[in-house]
């Protein structure tokens, strides 16, 4: 099974997925009922190691899986076909990136964050003000959520608002998606006020 963890840059994908193995162990050991292979007919994950997690942005860099370099944006244009083939070979359970929803997945987690907080996080991470603002606007417009729903359908999308959650708390909610204990959800936040 593959679970994509996507969201606008700054929503906390890298941080939450880095905490995932520890949180998975803590949650699944604490709840023996999640060791079943299916919950309510849904496939579940009952074991997770660091090898099961793939950070696409690292892979794109380390394997040079890009077709072009965008100097203005200080970023690369990913070669999605090459990326898909490398990811298929590695068969990870969790795929983390703002591009993850462009690859096939059984479930898609979309991390969300209130745009002002998102911009604050990006500035704190060292991003330029312009880039932080651009991403905050994109988050207010639900761009990645809409793409995820269009590609994978409402029944496969799980929206998680990270605005007031710690990375561990966000990771716990992703664990619930992996173990089949969370229902799909989309449109649970409304950040459009940021644009007014
Ligand atoms: N839940 C959270 N609450 C507050 N700050 C966070 C949270 N998750 C991540 N951060 C911080 O926000 C910044 C962006 O997080 P990061 O995981 O790199 O986002 P992404 O991978 O989605 O681009 C980092 O500086 C990180 O420390």
- For the chain, the structural domain boundaries read 3-183
**Token representation of residue 156:** 């496969």
Distance CA 17, CA 23 (A): 10
Report CA Rg, the chain. Answer: 16
> In whole angstroms, what is the distance from residue 41 CA to residue 19 CA?
27
Q: Is 173 in the pocket of ligand 1 (CB under 6 A)?
A: no
Ligand 1 in reach of 7 Cβ (< 6 A): yes
Per CATH, which fold does 3-183 belong to?
A: Rossmann fold (3.40.50)
CA dihedral 60, 186, 117, 166 (to 10 degrees): -80
Q: Give residue 120 CA to ligand 1 midpoint distance, Å.
A: 10
Q: How many helices (H) and strands (E) does the chain have?
A: 8, 9
pLDDT tens for the 196 residues of the chain, in order: 999 999 999 999 999 999 999 999 998 877 666 555 555 667 788 899 999 999 999 999 999 999 998 887 778 999 999 999 999 999 999 999 999 999 999 999 999 999 999 999 999 999 999 999 999 999 999 999 999 999 999 999 999 999 999 999 999 999 999 999 999 999 999 999 999 8
Q: DSSP state, 185?
A: B
Whose Cα sits closest to atom 3 in ligand 1? 166
32 contacts: CB under 8 Å, gap ≥ 6: none
Using DSSP, state whether 158 is helix, strand or coil: strand
* 163 Cβ contact partners less than 8 Å away, ≥ 6 residues apart: 112, 113, 114, 117
Terminal alpha carbon distance of the chain = 41
pTM to 2 decimal places = 0.95
The pair of three-digit structure tokens given for residue 90, joined into one six-digit string:
């590695």
How crowded is residue 126: how many other Cβ atoms within 10 Å of its Cβ? Answer: 6
Task: Name the residue with the closest Cα to ligand 1, atom 25.
Answer: 125
């Amino acid at each position: 099974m593959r679970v994509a963890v996507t969201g606008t840059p700054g929503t906390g994908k890298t941080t939450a997925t880095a905490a995932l193995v520890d949180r998975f162990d803590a949650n699944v050991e604490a709840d023996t009922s999640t060791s079943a292979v299916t919950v309510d007919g849904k496939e579940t994950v009952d074991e997770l190691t660091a090898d099961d997690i793939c950070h696409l942005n690292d892979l794109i860099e380390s394997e040079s899986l890009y077709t072009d370099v965008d100097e203005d944006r200080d970023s690369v244009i990913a070669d999605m076909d090459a990326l898909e083939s490398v990811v298929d070979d590695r068969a990870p359970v969790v795929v983390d990136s703002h591009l993850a929803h462009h690859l096939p997945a059984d479930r898609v987690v979309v991390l969300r964050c209130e745009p002002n907080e998102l911009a604050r996080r990006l500035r704190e991470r060292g991003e330029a003000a312009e880039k932080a603002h651009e991403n905050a606007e994109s988050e207010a417009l639900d761009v990645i959520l809409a793409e995820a729903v269009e590609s994978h359908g409402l029944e496969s999308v799980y929206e998680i608002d990270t605005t007031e959650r710690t990375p561990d708390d966000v990771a716990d909610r992703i664990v619930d998606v992996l173990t089949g204990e969370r229902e799909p959800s989309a449109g649970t936040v409304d950040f459009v006020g940021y644009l007014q």
